[in-house]
Structure 1
Amino acid sequence: MSQSPPGHPAIILVSPERTDFLLDEFGRYARDYDLRTATSAKDAEIIAEQLVAEGRPIALFVTESRLPDGPLFAALHRWREVVPTSRRLVAAHWDHFIADADELRPGLATGKYDAYLLLPRGPRDEEFHTAVCELLSDWGSTVAAPEVTTADVVAEPGDALAVSIREFFARMGMPSATFAPESEIGAAVVAQWRAEGGGAEPTYPLVRHLRGGVIAPASVRDVAAKIYGRPDSIDPEGAHTIVDLCIVGAGPAGLAAAVYGASEGLTTVAVESEAIGGQAGTSSMIRNYLGFPRGVSGMRLAQRARGQAIRFGTRFFTGWEVAGLTPGPDGAPHIVHTDGGDVHAKAVVVATGVSYRKLGVESLDAMIGLGVHYGSAMSVAREMEGADVVVVGGGNSAGQAAIHLARFARSVTIVIRRAGLEETMSSYLIKEISYHRRISVRPFTEVVDGGGTSRLEWLTLRDRRDGTSDTMAAGGLFLLLGAEPHCSWLPDAVARDERGFILTGRDVPTDQWVDGVPPPSLGTTVPGVFAVGDIRSGSMKRVAAASGEGSSVVPLVHGYLAGSQPT
């Protein structure tokens, strides 16, 4: 049964006896979704197969906890086989909710379905529909092509910079699309470029951005600067305007510092070299972050935190890499240097996090953006449909990337140098990976070569135990390798450990303590300069821990400012 025009994404409602009730309850979605009903698992599977054959997307399955034709988990498994990208919601009847919970809830930990809720018992059950909307929003942002774009990218096929720009837009929560120059939209953008540039021939990619103009960027930073401005806009006349707090890096730690700093009255600026959210912002789904029982994507978490910080007055400058720091002598303001200008700040919080270690295989580094990606590259996941994909890395980010890619790819192989994932990955991810038939793990293995005609087509993997190698077809390689500190721009006065991570508090060598007293717990060897999150030596390398340090540093900043005499 369909309640909306064909072509809309479908929601399949499954109930042996209450399909009319569910159809009425989901009536608020009828304008934008094609509502279908089924009374059994098999009927739902048949409907799904018909829709897939027609090329129709299925956003969500909603099912009661008890079906007449077999166990629920078997039904959920079959539905995922037909439509790997759809979300799955179990809405138990109130007579069965508690009785079925013990058996069904463990399935959440293995990714068998996405949410377990009580069927609405009356009108306007907004708690129920909040969960529905979150699932539809997650599906829409990671699976569906955007209905409305805030930016259009025009590029020739295989343009690596265009891929990077699109990934930047995705991480910033800005829907975008890529068009060939000869397409209708591409031709319109080219014509606008010529009109604005006095007839000049375009160089690709071109980007039509939300401010209404068209630019031909040479880097992602060019796009970010056009949209978000330059750091020197704080100080346009060179008057050395001084802010209370400059945060370098806008991952979870930096965002938390921005929220708490600005909310407690500090004039706060955050400078981020890439997209808001840092490495965590590339995670397709973080399921163990406090307060998000159905999980939250790194992008959505970052954008919510950014909006929260902006509400309190934080200014963000995105796309500007910090090139240096000049400490202020005797309590004078520090100077944070970027190519877009300097920021003068009484206190500085370093929250630059870590970057993925390079693979070091020349043939593959030459194909970055052409099937080879550092990070999860969520924006290109849709392009992996039907492909064999390799994810290199054993941390949580690698696990999250593998699960997300498995919605599209024919197979996902996680390659790790260790014997297993247990040392580096959270248990809930390991369980979900072990359940997923499309994902396999190859221990004691490394990628040593790869190539293709115009993009990645094959990889060579080597067993580290006996040195044997084999070659496999591969349409995508996603590299999430280890953690390298990103703080070479800091002066030598900021002490670091042997791996390059910043030393703070009692980890600072005693010969660098002042009057026998160590720096504050998150303080560095330069007064007024603090370090939080993954960049800090000894940090936990988890999103929640980074957020905690970002909020905890603000009282230390207040304490420093209360005792300093900036000029």
Structure 2
Amino acid sequence: MAKPIILAVDDEPHVLNAVARDLQERYRGDYRIVKALSGQEALEAVQEFKRRGTAVALFVVDQRMPGMSGIELLAEAIVLYPEAKRVLLTAYADTNAAIASINEVALDYYLMKPWDPPEEQLYPVLDDLLDAWAAHVPVPYDGIRVAGTLWSPRSHQVKEFLARGQIPYQWLDIEKDDEARTLVEASTEGRSVLPVLFFPDGTLLEDPDMHVLADKVGLRAPALKPFYDLIVIGAGPAGLAAAVYGASEGLKTAVVEREVPGGQAGTSARIENYLGFPQGIGGADLARRAATQARRLGAELLVAQEVTGVRVDGPYRIVTLDDGSELRCHALLLATGVALRTLDAPGLERLLGASVYYGAATSEAANYQDRDVLVIGGANSAGQGALFLSRYARSVTILVRKDSLRHSMSQYLIDQIERTENITVSPSTEIAAVTGEHSLETVTLVDRASETSTTVRADAIFIFVGAMARSDLVRDLVEVDDAGFVLTGQDLLAGGRRPRGWRLRRDPLLMESSVPGIFAAGDVRHDVVRRVASAVGQGSVAVTAIHRYLDTV
């Protein structure tokens, strides 16, 4: 943590040096002493401290300076640092101005120049002020800060990206925090660009592209090799399991992930039925552990890099990345998972990312403290999301199309939901429409049993409905079912025929697609159990089949 700042300002160099000398003598062990020769120079320094998240404990400012007086400087500086203590250096002729500034800028003290000896005239005053500051000002946050508005979809995307990547950050809502708004205005010179990210090194990003942000926080790195034994597309549970087993068994393995590791499971607030974690584990935490394990065993994780194309060239499978580069491998594993199906109710799309969210949106839950939220869906992800939201929201209502949760949700989640006082389940219910200009206001619900509708007020909607296969990359290359899920192994032999274009004498291996050497695991496969443990098992078993394939290459 950087030392708090004591800022000394005087336009006369010899006076400024004397002030700084006395401050250094007494306070250099606990504070950083900074000098400025003018009010404008001091104000620029204060703005830079704020961008860096550095605390300012004390201003020691001369009153009579050209261009900007001490009182004028303090009036602007305390907008950014309202808790900092303020001392004005004056001559006899400035006494009236100093007294007037006690009310104008809440001046803590004014000192006559000269103040010798400092042991009697300076240090006792400053000691008291600094002790008071240290006792009442919290330790400043020394990390990434994200400034934006709750109703900004782009702010939500940035927060969700950082949260899923387990990158710590502090949220600054400029609609609620005047200090944060002033910081943004000063740093962006009035440009209306949100969100703004402030980094500890003093740099900032305005509404960054996710690739740029990934580079900045150290998530994105180029591939180290042009060729691999195995490339895995997708870093959900299946992809990470394949990376762990592939790397541990000596395969040169790379995993390409378009966002951050974890997949849909990574958005789960808590997974309580995964073997080996009796207290449950957060999806992001499970993903972090698995990614660390894969890297330790030698796998490369190419994060925030999207595969834009897949093709076959003889014995090689080639993937094209979004930066135009290409990677080659002998075996390719599709672990791209699924995307949540979107709802088509009028008004929803306009509020997406601004009180309407697909998935758990754990980064937003705390913003709905003591508010009323709706959860749409009846599977495990909806139950986990509802339980997490219930820690913050005044009420959580689960809307499910079927007559109960028992058709698709695990019993342990149902039991917890029934024990949670602020969660209500509304069966046989669908959303018909929503209203709200900048954020959600009302929701029209339809009872499927009675075909009656009601309108209720709500502050946010979290949607967990259905799943669509993320197989667009390969739908023209491998065989898929009518819903787009990849057919593998025995599913390709239905009706006693082999896949179209299959030239090998052998049948497709377990989890092998209709193109030899391209495999699939996890939720993107046809007719699988969509659970974390199932995906991990498939990713692990797929490596065994890939070894068999590599033995023939």
| TM-score w.r.t. length of structure 2 | 0.69
**Paired residue secondary structure (1:366):** helix
For structure 1, which segment, 439-448 or 337-346, has the greater mean C-alpha deviation from structure 2 after superposition? 337-346
The aligned counterpart of 1:80 is none
The aligned counterpart of 2:210 is 220
**Paired residue secondary structure (1:294):** coil
Residue pair 1:189, 1:208 contacting (<8 A) in 2 also:
no
**Paired residue secondary structure (2:344):** coil
Q: 2:289 aligns with which of 292, 304, 324?
A: 304
* Correspondence list, 1:463-502, <5 A: 463-502=447-486
Q: 1:531 aligns with which of 517, 520, 526?
A: 520
Matched, 1:158 2:151: yes
Please give the alpha-carbon distance, in whole angstroms, between the structure 1 residues aligned to 2:420 and 2:465.
22
Residues 548/469 of structure 1: CA separation in 2 closer, same or farther (3 Å cut): same
**Paired residue secondary structure (1:493):** coil
Residue pair 1:234, 1:241 contacting (<8 A) in 2 also:
yes
Q: 2:355 aligns with which of 354, 359, 371?
A: 371
The aligned counterpart of 1:435 is 419
Q: Which amino acid aligns with 1:492?
A: D
Please give the alpha-carbon distance, in whole angstroms, between the structure 1 residues aligned to 2:428 and 2:192.
48
Per-residue deviation, residues 205-234 of structure 1 (Å, max 9, x unmatched): 222357864222454344224434667x32
Deviation of 1:489 after TM superposition, in Å, equals: 1.4
Please give the alpha-carbon distance, in whole angstroms, between the structure 1 residues aligned to 2:358 and 2:209.
17
Residues 419/241 of structure 1: CA separation in 2 closer, same or farther (3 Å cut): same
**Paired residue secondary structure (1:563):** coil
Q: 2:487 aligns with which of 480, 491, 503?
A: 503
Residue pair 1:283, 1:298 contacting (<8 A) in 2 also:
yes
Matched, 1:282 2:275: no
Matched, 1:353 2:337: yes
The aligned counterpart of 2:128 is none
Residue pair 1:336, 1:344 contacting (<8 A) in 2 also:
no
Residue pair 1:417, 1:464 contacting (<8 A) in 2 also:
yes
Q: Which amino acid aligns with 2:487?
A: L
Q: Which amino acid aligns with 2:544?
A: P
Per-residue deviation, residues 245-268 of structure 1 (Å, max 9, x unmatched): 211111111111111112222222
Residues 146/479 of structure 1: CA separation in 2 closer, same or farther (3 Å cut): farther
Per-residue deviation, residues 364-422 of structure 1 (Å, max 9, x unmatched): 11101111000010011111111111101111000000111111111111111111111
Deviation of 1:463 after TM superposition, in Å, equals: 1.3
Q: 1:169 aligns with which of 154, 159, 162?
A: 162
Matched, 1:244 2:224: no
Please give the alpha-carbon distance, in whole angstroms, between the structure 2 residues aligned to 1:289 and 1:211.
40
**Paired residue secondary structure (2:498):** helix
Matched, 1:266 2:255: no
Per-residue deviation, residues 164-208 of structure 1 (Å, max 9, x unmatched): 1111111111121222568556656776x66xxxx8957322223
**Paired residue secondary structure (1:177):** strand
Please give the alpha-carbon distance, in whole angstroms, between the structure 2 residues aligned to 1:229 and 1:220.
11
Deviation of 1:348 after TM superposition, in Å, equals: 1.1
Please give the alpha-carbon distance, in whole angstroms, between the structure 1 residues aligned to 2:423 and 2:255.
38
Q: Which amino acid aligns with 1:394?
A: G
Q: Which amino acid aligns with 1:534?
A: D
Q: 2:507 aligns with which of 513, 518, 525?
A: 518
Structure 1: any 5+ residue segments left out of the alignment?
1-144
The aligned counterpart of 2:196 is 206
Residue pair 2:498, 2:507 contacting (<8 A) in 1 also:
no
Matched, 1:424 2:417: no
Residue pair 2:219, 2:304 contacting (<8 A) in 1 also:
no
Please give the alpha-carbon distance, in whole angstroms, between the structure 2 residues aligned to 1:210 and 1:533.
39
Q: Which amino acid aligns with 1:363?
A: G
Residue pair 1:446, 1:462 contacting (<8 A) in 2 also:
yes
The aligned counterpart of 1:255 is 240
Per-residue deviation, residues 407-463 of structure 1 (Å, max 9, x unmatched): 111111111111111121111111111222211111111111112242112211111
* Correspondence list, 1:308-323, <5 A: 308-323=293-308
* Correspondence list, 1:95-244, <5 A: 150-180=143-173, 184=179, 201=191, 203-209=193-199, 213-228=203-218, 233-234=222-223, 241-244=226-229
**Paired residue secondary structure (1:154):** strand
* Correspondence list, 1:451-470, <5 A: 451-470=435-454
Q: Aligned residue pairs: how many?
A: 409
Per-residue deviation, residues 122-169 of structure 1 (Å, max 9, x unmatched): xxxxxxxxxxxxxxxxxxxxxxx9985642212245221111111111
Please give the alpha-carbon distance, in whole angstroms, between the structure 1 residues aligned to 2:370 and 2:534.
37
Q: Which amino acid aligns with 1:428?
A: Y
Per-residue deviation, residues 340-383 of structure 1 (Å, max 9, x unmatched): 63322222111111110001124111101111000010011111
Q: 2:311 aligns with which of 326, 344, 353?
A: 326
Q: Which amino acid aligns with 2:166?
A: G
**Paired residue secondary structure (2:197):** strand
Per-residue deviation, residues 509-554 of structure 1 (Å, max 9, x unmatched): 4231555642111111111111000001111100001001111111
**Paired residue secondary structure (1:441):** strand
Residue pair 2:223, 2:302 contacting (<8 A) in 1 also:
no
Structure 2: any 5+ residue segments left out of the alignment?
1-137
Deviation of 1:336 after TM superposition, in Å, equals: 3.7
**Paired residue secondary structure (2:360):** coil
Q: Which amino acid aligns with 2:356?
A: V
**Paired residue secondary structure (2:231):** strand
Per-residue deviation, residues 475-520 of structure 1 (Å, max 9, x unmatched): 1100001111011111523110111100010001423155564211
Residue pair 1:251, 1:278 contacting (<8 A) in 2 also:
yes
Q: 1:555 aligns with which of 516, 533, 544?
A: 544
The aligned counterpart of 1:29 is none
Q: Which amino acid aligns with 2:498?
A: D
Deviation of 1:470 after TM superposition, in Å, equals: 0.5
Residue pair 1:502, 1:535 contacting (<8 A) in 2 also:
yes
Deviation of 1:335 after TM superposition, in Å, equals: 2.6
Please give the alpha-carbon distance, in whole angstroms, between the structure 1 residues aligned to 2:142 and 2:409.
35
Please give the alpha-carbon distance, in whole angstroms, between the structure 2 residues aligned to 1:424 and 1:214.
45
Residues 493/414 of structure 1: CA separation in 2 closer, same or farther (3 Å cut): same
Deviation of 1:465 after TM superposition, in Å, equals: 2.6
- Seq. identity, %: 39
**Paired residue secondary structure (2:476):** coil
Residue pair 2:434, 2:444 contacting (<8 A) in 1 also:
yes
The aligned counterpart of 1:137 is none
Q: Which amino acid aligns with 1:540?
A: V
Please give the alpha-carbon distance, in whole angstroms, between the structure 1 residues aligned to 2:353 and 2:139.
21
Give the superposed CA RMSD.
Answer: 2.5
Please give the alpha-carbon distance, in whole angstroms, between the structure 2 residues aligned to 1:209 and 1:380.
21
Q: Which amino acid aligns with 1:207?
A: L
